[in-house]
Amino acid sequence: MTLPLDYLEESPSQTAGPYVHIGTNPNWVEITGVWHDDLGLVLVGPQTRGERILVEGRVTDGAGTPVRDALIEIWQADAEGLHPSPAETRGAADPHFAGWGRQPVGAEDGTFRFETVRPGRTPFPDGRLQAPHITVWIVARGINIGLHTRLYFGDETEANAADPLLNRIPEPERRATLIAERSERDGLPVFRFDIRLQGERETVFLDM
């Protein structure tokens, strides 16, 4: 019996499996000829406006062991707080900024690294300004639904203190899991953001 056309059954739940990198980043796993460059590896170019930064980190499990087959995506506003999206209604975003990046973690140590720009502040649904942040999405074998979290910048103390989402997390030690601490390398700001999937200092994940 066929189903009515206005009704679709929910698809069975699936994990990402061990082969997600083949489908999303074939060149990363040395499968060439699918496309010239893997999508999402480059966010900025010579004409991109804003302060260049590096975001680095590592994905670990509950035992502190690196997760070697995770895939990280980041989404963010440009330096003026505008999203490069057709849904952006506040103005035109920087056409030289992708606003989205994707990268498999290092197969040996679970690390990732993105070169991007510091995002501007964006409005919360009620109009209050949010602190500069980057949305982070994690998927790996054994994760049925991708995990969402946020990266906030450790040198944005005043903006972080007033951020509507951070203020919904009452425990200071839990809020701290979303704060990337700043260092510098060759004059470039580097923000360290480690993602802990379980256990002590587990990263706060968001229902989005």
Q: Where does residue 61 rank: exposed (0-12), middle (13-18), buried (19+ CB within 10 A)?
A: middle
Q: Does the model's pTM come out above 0.75? A: yes
> Which pLDDT belongs to residue 158?
97
Q: For the chain, what's the residue count?
A: 208
> Which pLDDT belongs to residue 35?
79
Q: Where does residue 19 rank: exposed (0-12), middle (13-18), buried (19+ CB within 10 A)?
A: exposed
> Which pLDDT belongs to residue 10?
67
The residue ranges of every structural domain in the chain are: 36-196
Check pLDDT > 80 for residue 2.
no
More confident position, 204 or 40:
204
Check pLDDT > 70 for residue 119.
yes
Q: Percentage helix, strand, coil, to 5, in the chain?
A: 10, 30, 60
Q: What one-letter code names the amino acid at 14?
A: Q
Q: What would the pLDDT profile of 159-180 be if each residue is shown by its tens digit?
A: 999 999 999 999 999 999 999 9
If one looks up domain 36-196 in CATH, what number appears? 2.60.130.10
Check pLDDT > 90 for residue 6.
no
Q: What is the rounded CA–CA span in Å between residue 33 and residue 35?
A: 5
What would the mean pLDDT of 111-132 be, rounded to a whole number?
Answer: 96
Check pLDDT > 90 for residue 58.
yes
What's the mean pLDDT when you consider all of the chain?
90
